[in-house]
Amino acid sequence: MTEAPTISRGRAFRRAASHALSSRWSLLALLGLLAVLVIVFGALEGIPASRLLGLTVRGILLGGALALGALGITLVFGVLKMANFAHGDYMTTGAYLGLVVMALIPASAPVLGLGFGYEFVIALLIVMPLTGLVAYGLDRVTFRRLRKRRAAPIMMAMAALGLAFGVRSIIYMVFGADFTFYYQGGPRPIVELLPGLRVRTDQLFILAAAVVLIFLVYLLLERTKIGKAMRAMADNSDLARISGIATERVVFWTWLISGGLAGAGGMLYALDVQLRPEMGWWLLLPLFAAVILGSIGNVYGALFGAFTMGIVWQVSSAFVNPAYGPAAAFVVMILALLVRPQGLMGRDK
């Protein structure tokens, strides 16, 4: 009789300790520790602090394009409960659709000190709904059938894998395997943000466009009826269904939004780097690393993860071959999962 409380107190203590170790704060502490390590090793290797700062800024700029991709993955996971491994290839689709649209509309001279004219913005606005419709159309012929059969989520992921390779093979067939640019050899204006810290104006545009789109998604999710329905589906799909939410309508909007964001993210990433049929597959790793770090299904977590992974990707290039950037994001994801398997915004167990 007297021993029982002692045991339960010991157990409670242990449980509290393991809770504290896997809390949100310890995940943030891990990321802080990594930042400190980077600074210390940077100093030991003789990497100037200004270089690390410059890479961090580059990482935030890259994070904008990643955030658009990560938002789509997390929305689809939240509403449809499936890991969409084709999402990277939807981004590639958007990038190449942009190439087609820009060839069809007249080009203007570069504007506002950027390296491109109005046609890029117009193409962006056309490509977004187009990619969204492609994503929805592919859902109609693949995932919808599986949902109706109540297939396991893992079968959905496998269908997504088939789609990823199928979409990429069509891009190979139409555009060939070589890389290309939107503006071959065009001007690439540079601006000095801080003394010694130069970035391309295009990259500032990418971040600004990403922030605007993220804000629009926020408004849509928080202020509109369809956004509310999407959040309800993400929270409890069975409850949402019996409360009379038109699930197929929610599914349509989810694909339109996440496909649209993928299209925009793909075009913006391609503007910064290049267009390549494999770009989406290579982005998949940092994108999922971002989404999982922030808790899959959580919109704010995905944003946090995207900017973190953008920084990790860029800063790692000060230490290792830049080709390992996406892999560095992956390693940080594994470390984060060891500390907190449910991710930053996940519910405490």
Q: Is 189 in the site for another protein (CB under 8 A)?
A: no
Q: Is 136 in the site for another protein (CB under 8 A)?
A: no
Spell out where 195-326 has E strands: 197-200
Q: Is 10 in the site for another protein (CB under 8 A)?
A: no
Q: How far is the CB of 333 from another protein (least distance, A)?
A: 8
Q: Is 163 in the site for another protein (CB under 8 A)?
A: yes
The piece of 37-45, 47-55, 199-207, 327-335 that touches another protein (CB under 8 A) is: 327-335
Q: Is 134 in the site for another protein (CB under 8 A)?
A: no
Query: Quick one: how far is CA 33 from the chain centroid?
Result: 24
Q: Which is nearer to another protein, 205 or 330 (CB)?
A: 330
Location of structure tokens 């409360």:
243
Q: Which is nearer to another protein, 107 or 146 (CB)?
A: 146
Out of 34, 146, 197, 220, the residue judged to bind another protein by CB under 8 A: 146
Q: Is 216 in the site for another protein (CB under 8 A)?
A: no
Out of 36, 173, 194, 212, the residue judged to bind another protein by CB under 8 A: 173
Mask for 258-287, x = binds another protein (CB under 8 A): -----------------------xx-xx--
Out of 326, 340, 344, 345, the residue judged to bind another protein by CB under 8 A: 326
Q: Is 330 in the site for another protein (CB under 8 A)?
A: yes
- Dist CA 261 CA 72 (whole Å): 6
Q: Please provide the DSSP assignment of 299-322 as one string.
A: HHHHHHHHHHHHHHHHHHTTTS-G
**Count of residues interacting with another protein (CB under 8 A):** 43
- Dist CA 282 CA 60 (whole Å): 19
User: Minimal CA–CA distance to 171: which of 278, 281, 265, 68?
Assistant: 278
Q: Which residues pair with 191 in a beta bridge?
A: 199
Token pair in block for residue 107: 């080009």
Q: Are strands 197-200 and 190-194 parallel, antiparallel or unpaired?
A: antiparallel
Out of 1, 7, 104, 323, the residue judged to bind another protein by CB under 8 A: 323
User: Minimal CA–CA distance to 86: which of 162, 2, 175?
Assistant: 162
DSSP state of 114: S
Query: Quick one: how far is CA 234 from the chain centroid?
Result: 18
User: 210 CB contacts (<8 Å, ≥6 apart)?
Assistant: 64, 65, 67, 68, 264, 265, 268
Q: Is 176 in the site for another protein (CB under 8 A)?
A: yes
CB distance 293 to 333 below 8 Å:
yes
Q: How far is the CB of 335 from another protein (least distance, A)?
A: 9
Q: Is 317 in the site for another protein (CB under 8 A)?
A: no
Q: How far is the CB of 288 from another protein (least distance, A)?
A: 4
The piece of 110-118, 153-161, 223-231, 260-268 that touches another protein (CB under 8 A) is: 153-161
Q: Is 170 in the site for another protein (CB under 8 A)?
A: yes
Out of 18, 108, 169, 243, the residue judged to bind another protein by CB under 8 A: 169
Alpha helices by DSSP H, listed for 81-117, are 87-104
Q: Exposure string (b/e) for 315-329, b if CB count within 10 Å is 16 or more?
A: bbbbeeeeeebbbbb
User: 230 CB contacts (<8 Å, ≥6 apart)?
Assistant: 75, 78, 79, 221, 250, 253, 254
Out of 157, 197, 220, 232, the residue judged to bind another protein by CB under 8 A: 157
Q: How many residues does the chain have?
A: 349
- The binding site for another protein (CB under 8 A) comprises 82-83, 85, 142, 145-146, 151, 153-155, 157-159, 161-163, 165-166, 168-170, 172-173, 176-177, 281-282, 284-285, 288-289, 292, 321, 323-324, 326-327, 330, 333-334, 337-338, 341
